């Protein structure tokens, strides 16, 4: 691959990162991108810290090998469990000139301006919830005005999305169950963070069961906006990112399956290639 081809890498355990990718394409269409979905090994949300770190590391290194200087972890679970290690252990030793960014911090930074009651709900995978990343980051961002955070893990939502069961009665059942649990724990919540990039694909059904007046935060537009800021603040990186509007897709599962759902989610033709990680 020529040195002048330096796409932005976008990684997720599967299809969820496409909800971020879609907004990156809308906000920053000029860049080249490689999307990588580890569909064969997801869900990540139920896996241990060590496994999510190892899988994410393999994916990031693969994207580096393909020329990316900048990778966005379009996955909360990977951001919660692998980002810090990759930034603090791997990059300084192996790839000091490359950067990896996550999705949790940009989302959390919006929270103080969004909530009026100071009560926020977080829906995420088991891994994200157990990591306590959201409550910790929210506490850091608003030290003088404590925000009350209630988390609920929704382990069925990712398999529902990955299997394209979004419109099924099962989807409605599990969405209602998890939202009832969240608002049963704290009825004062006025802002719900969809802390998993797969969940926006369920927005229609989530809105059906969300109490009136509660705001739903999806991450795509926020992450795109923050990436734009980042590139403005790092002109040396921005200059290196190649800009011919090229998009490549890789999946660790069957490309045919990937393309079908990816087309649906992105609203444009996707032709992915198979890739093996690890």
Residue 252 is a binding residue for ligand DGL (CB under 6 A): no
Q: Which is nearer to ligand DGL, 241 or 249 (CB)?
A: 249
Residues 158, 220, 89, 277: what is their CA dihedral angle, to the nearest 10 degrees? Answer: 50
Q: How many residues does the chain have?
A: 278
CB 79 to ligand DGL: min, Å: 7
Nearer to ligand DGL, 13 or 62 (CB): 13
- Among residues 6, 62, 76, 131, the one that binds ligand DGL under rule CB under 6 A: 76
- Return the residue of 36, 100, 196, 210 that touches ligand DGL, per CB under 6 A: 196
Contact call for residue 197 and ligand DGL (CB under 6 A): yes
Paired residues of 119 in beta bridges: 148
196 is catalytic: yes
Shortest Å, Cβ 243 to ligand DGL: 27
CB-based contacts of 12, cutoff 8 Å, min separation 6: 18, 20, 35, 36, 37, 38, 73, 74, 75, 78, 197
- Contact predicate 15/38, CB 8 Å: no
- The sign of the CA dihedral 126, 131, 132, 134 is negative
**241 vs 262 by CB, closer to ligand DGL:** 262
> Distance between CA atoms of 198 and 210, rounded to whole angstroms?
18
Q: Work out whether 121 is an interface residue with ligand DGL (CB under 6 A).
A: no
Return residues touching ligand DGL (CB under 6 A): 12-14, 16, 42-45, 75-77, 125, 128, 158, 196-198
Catalytic residues: 75, 196
């Amino acid at each position: 691959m020529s040195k002048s081809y330096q796409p932005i890498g976008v990684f997720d355990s599967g299809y969820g990162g496409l909800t971020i990718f879609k907004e990156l394409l809308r906000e920053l269409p000029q860049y080249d991108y490689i999307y990588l979905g580890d569909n064969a090994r997801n869900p990540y949300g139920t896996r241990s810290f060590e496994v999510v770190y190892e899988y994410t590391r393999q994916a990031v290194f693969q994207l580096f090998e393909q020329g990316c200087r900048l990778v966005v972890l379009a996955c909360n679970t990977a951001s919660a469990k692998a980002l810090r290690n990759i930034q603090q252990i791997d990059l300084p030793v192996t790839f000091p000139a490359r950067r990896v960014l996550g999705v949790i911090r940009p989302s959390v930074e919006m929270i103080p301006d969004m909530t009026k009651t100071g009560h926020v709900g977080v829906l995420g995978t088991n891994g994200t919830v157990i990591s306590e990343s959201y409550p910790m980051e929210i506490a850091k961002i608003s030290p003088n005005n404590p925000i009350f955070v209630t988390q609920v893990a929704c382990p069925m939502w990712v398999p529902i999305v990955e299997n394209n069961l979004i419109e099924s009665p099962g989807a409605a059942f599990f969405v209602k169950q998890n939202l009832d649990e969240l608002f049963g724990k704290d009825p004062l919540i006025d802002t719900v963070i969809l802390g998993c990039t797969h969940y926006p694909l369920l927005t229609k059904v989530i809105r059906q069961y969300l109490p009136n007046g509660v705001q739903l935060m999806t991450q795509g537009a926020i992450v795109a906006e923050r990436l734009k800021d980042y590139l403005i603040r790092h002109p040396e990186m921005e200059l290196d990112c190649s800009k011919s509007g090229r998009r490549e897709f890789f999946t660790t599962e069957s490309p045919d399956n990937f393309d079908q759902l990816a087309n649906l989610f992105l609203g444009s033709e996707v032709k992915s290639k198979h890739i093996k990680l690890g």
